[in-house]
Copies of this chain bind each other. A is one copy, B any other.
Amino acid sequence: MSTSNDDALAILRDKGLKATTQRIAILEALMSERAHPTAEEIHDALATEHPTISRSTVYETLSRFSEEGILDPLQTGDGVTRFEFHNHPHVNVVCIECQQIADVDSDHITPFLEHVRDETPWQVLDQQVKLRGLCHACKATKQP
């Protein structure tokens, strides 16, 4: 039993979700990934270890996890939903050329979000800061 397996198990238990093989596999995959995979990519990535896992299970599991706040869904504008493991507040930067996504940590995020939460009369549950631009490689390609 790996550590990440135990971690995944603990998270599921904590949320009162049944710890099935598939859910643990999906959660482990997302915890170890630094990428921001799509439902399809996760499905394909699990195909080797779990050849029988179905698309609907992956979709169902990902949306369940998102509801529970275990994952953050992220829409980058290319029509597919990407997922990342829910971390401390951070900024996602999306490259408009290669669709790559990176995370930026900033000390300014938390105080900023607190300000905004004070300024809206709504009850805020979740937040997302997204930048669009050009990554190193694509910037270089565009300006030779």
* A residues lining the B interface (CB < 8 Å): 73, 75, 77, 91, 93, 95-96, 102, 104, 106, 108-109, 112, 115-117, 119-136, 139
Number of copies of this chain in the oligomer?
Answer: 2
Q: Identify A116's interface contact among B96, B115, B129, CB under 8 A.
A: B129
B112 x A108 contact (CB < 8 A): yes
User: Residues of B contacting A124 with CB < 8 Å?
Assistant: 93, 131-133
A130 x B132 contact (CB < 8 A): no
Q: Which residue of B lies closest to A114 (CB)?
A: B108
Q: A128-B130, A129-B129, A130-B128 are in contact. Are A139 and B115 (CB under 8 A)?
A: no
Q: From residue A141, how far is it (CB to closest CB) to chain B in Å? A: 12
Interface of A is mostly: strand
Q: Identify A131's interface contact among B109, B127, B133, CB under 8 A.
A: B127
Q: Which residue of B lies closest to A117 (CB)?
A: B131
A139 x B119 contact (CB < 8 A): no
Q: CA separation between A126 and B109, bound complex, in Å?
A: 17
User: Residues of B contacting A115 with CB < 8 Å?
Assistant: 106, 108
Q: A75-B75, A127-B129, A129-B128 are in contact. Are A134 and B122 (CB under 8 A)?
A: yes
